[in-house]
Structure 1
């Protein structure tokens, strides 16, 4: 049996430590924070979206093709059902929402209950946990990893598993510095890049904070009149600085790449039909219901809180009837519901993403064991890998599965 050191007490690290110790290895788990699972505790707004429901094929289809190929062996070995059964045995009951996202039963501290379950698992199999243990450097040269530098200490072992997370939410301890250290050891890496983050806007609308646009589509174009670059069907919510919500998070990485390329423009379509179709329907409404207020028509498609400021921006009053609506004003109303202009984004903050794109290049890792190729005793897992799935529990499942594979020694 081997001596194993796992660095990082998040989702991947907890599973890796539990798995290795359950196979009889002597395991030490290092966590820089004062307690384990800090990021897990705040995931899903404190409710913890554990995983996504559905068969393996559907889970893999949510990831980009290269990532899906990489994840297939570890997901086969430790899938969503295995995660939920493990938690159920520790007393964590779950439920599945209509969108397939799996959460612990709604109750105060539900995310904390998930962390407590994993803490119980690692304690039961004899993992030695050290909190407040921050790594400050890596030692070694391929093919042999020699050890870790800690504050005032060098730590040696037979096998090392790095599960230190990405670069988002630095207040949870995920500072991302390990990626730079690995690069210094000639490990192929992709630089950190923001993903699943809120989108700040050049012209935010703080007065609209908290207003949600639902069941529409967020669209990204190469400039106000440019070609469509990407779109995502889902909700957004206005914040003081810009927009958040599922659609904003999903498009954040693509939006930041477009912004850096020099042209990015965001709109939101509350109505899925083409502008010509909406315009024809509005003209028909003018003929059949001429005394209908333009404000009433607009409120059918957009939140009431936005109606007044949008009308004012078009120099229209709340008393404006459809029968007196000029052609240009009619087309402007159609544009508001089919392509509400949100404008240019500002730089997307790396630190605010639910995950960070980038990490250790997947081709440098054995997908069955998470062992770094060209290294005898070094494994990586979780968000330290170049994996960034969509919102919905996919990234936590990837962390659990790759952690399991890394701990299977």
Structure 2
């Protein structure tokens, strides 16, 4: 058993977890002159931050109007408005820009560093903490959090046997997505012991695995400006427009991630089918005419050699196979029946869902602390004075596109501003 060692120093603030919310909270508290200690279980800071956005870090979404922005958080806007009124997208961009990191806007309002590197974001946060005298202890595993009933201090015990006393604690341990980055959910266990209600954790943004054998042959293919529609028992459920990426086992990409939670709910009740519409802005009649024009113009070529204007090359064989259409047929000999089938498939390529990939592939996890138990004016627990809850610890669903990190910047800053 390790020897127990109690630090004589009482910190103003201890932040547990060096993810984006934790580092923002630590830096802001230090900026206010607080004596701040940041505890991180990994050997390096921001391990999960560095893999976001494919390593490019989609740090927010350019929606300066809070009502428009908060509508993306699916019914949680009544909780979040107070926090976002203190630190919104505009202030987030100013924070990073003023600290020397240029940003750029891409499709659908997604904001990235000009460097296209998550390291740039981490550098800003690290320098912010250093400038404000935050003490950082890495490779430190916290074992428990308790409240000293005599003093009201929060007492943190580490796996090495140390005991740390602090006037305030910011819990930024994340959810349970991507556990290899350190998000293993122990914060929820500590909070349960402090009588907080924890909504069961599931994985909000995950890729989808498919049963279709042909998928592995098109891994890496990207589709843009498509529509994905879910079906159950041959009944239409929801439709989503956007982008898709084929993987070796299924599909991913922003649109797929955003629909994954709804797919997970449907899977509880039976099999789920997804249909891809390659031309959501073109009806069957117009698409049939486009195909006919190509067949006439290329009448002496084989069907398999003339479809590039309509279908990505790697998808042509699977699509022809789905309709039992012979690609060796010359364009002038393609039957009316085959033309109709080809158009119907292009408007509704069937995908058969096997399931959702697990927490090891999740971008964020839903579930967490019941929002009614948090004061969003300060991010303080309503049950435990001087305990602040930020980022993925909170039970808030959000889509991909920078909204998850914006939640971290906002809640982290507000906690750091009030603790």
- Aligned partner of 1:317 in structure 2 is 326
Distance 2:311 2:59 in 1: 33
- SS of the residue aligned with 1:342? strand
Q: Distance in 1 between matches of 2:321 and 2:295?
A: 24
> Following superposition of structure 1 onto structure 2, how do residues 82-93 of structure 1 map, counting pairs within 5 Å?
82-93=91-102
Pairwise CA RMSD of aligned residues? 2.6
Measured against aligned partners, the alpha-carbon deviations of 1:238-275 in whole angstroms (never above 9, x if no partner) come to 11111111111111111111112223111211111586
Q: Among residues 362, 370, 373, which one is paired with 1:353 in the alignment?
A: 362
Question: Which residue is equivalent to 1:114?
Answer: 121
Determine whether 1:247 maps to 2:255: yes
- Tell me which of 85, 102, 107 is aligned to 2:111: 102
Cα deviation, residue 312, structure 1: 3.4
Where structure 2 has 5 or more consecutive residues not aligned to the other structure, the ranges are 1-9
Q: CA offsets, 1:155-200, max 9 Å, x none?
A: 2211111011111111111112222332233211212111221111
1:404 aligned onto 2:413: yes
Q: Please say if residues 27 and 129 of structure 2, whose CA atoms lie closer than 8 Å, have aligned partners that are also in contact.
A: yes
3-state SS in 2 of match to 1:171: helix
Unmatched runs of 5 consecutive residues or more in structure 1:
none
Structure 1 residue corresponding to 2:84, chosen from 72, 75, 86: 75
Distance in 2, Cα, partners of 1:43 & 1:408: 26
Q: Give 2:220's aligned residue.
A: 210
Aligned to 2:198: 189
Aligned to 1:63: 73
Q: TM-score, normalised by structure 1?
A: 0.90
Indicate if the aligned counterparts of 1:190 and 1:358 stay in contact, CA closer than 8 A.
Answer: yes
Q: Of residues 319, 330, 335 in structure 1, which corresponds to 2:339?
A: 330
Q: 1:174 aligns with which of 183, 187, 192?
A: 183
2:238 aligned counterpart, secondary structure: strand
In structure 1, C-alpha distance between the alignment counterparts of 2:252 and 2:33, rounded to whole Å? 45
SS, match of residue 12 in structure 1: helix
User: Aligned pair in 2 of structure 1 residues 202, 148: CA closer, same or farther (>3 Å)?
Assistant: farther
Q: TM-score, normalised by structure 2?
A: 0.88
Give the aligned partner of residue 46 of structure 1. Answer: 55
**Partner-residue secondary structure (3-state), 1:236:** strand
Whether the aligned pair in 2 keeps the contact of 1:200 and 1:243 (CA below 8 Å) is yes
Deviation at 1:328, TM superposition (A): 4.5
Residues 22-33 of structure 1: matches in 2 within 5 Å?
22-33=31-42
Query: How far is the alpha carbon of 1:60 from its aligned partner?
Result: 1.7
- Secondary structure, aligned partner of 2:381: coil
Contact 1:56 1:76 in 2 (8 A): no
Deviations 1:77-116 (A, max 9, x none): 1122222222223221111124211111135xx2112111
Residue 139 of structure 2 is aligned to residue 129 of structure 1: no
Task: List per-residue Cα deviations over 1:11-66 (Å, max 9, x = no partner).
Answer: 10011111112222221111111121111112111111111113223322222122
* Count of aligned residue pairs for this structure pair: 404
Native 8 Å contact 1:135 1:149 kept in 2: yes
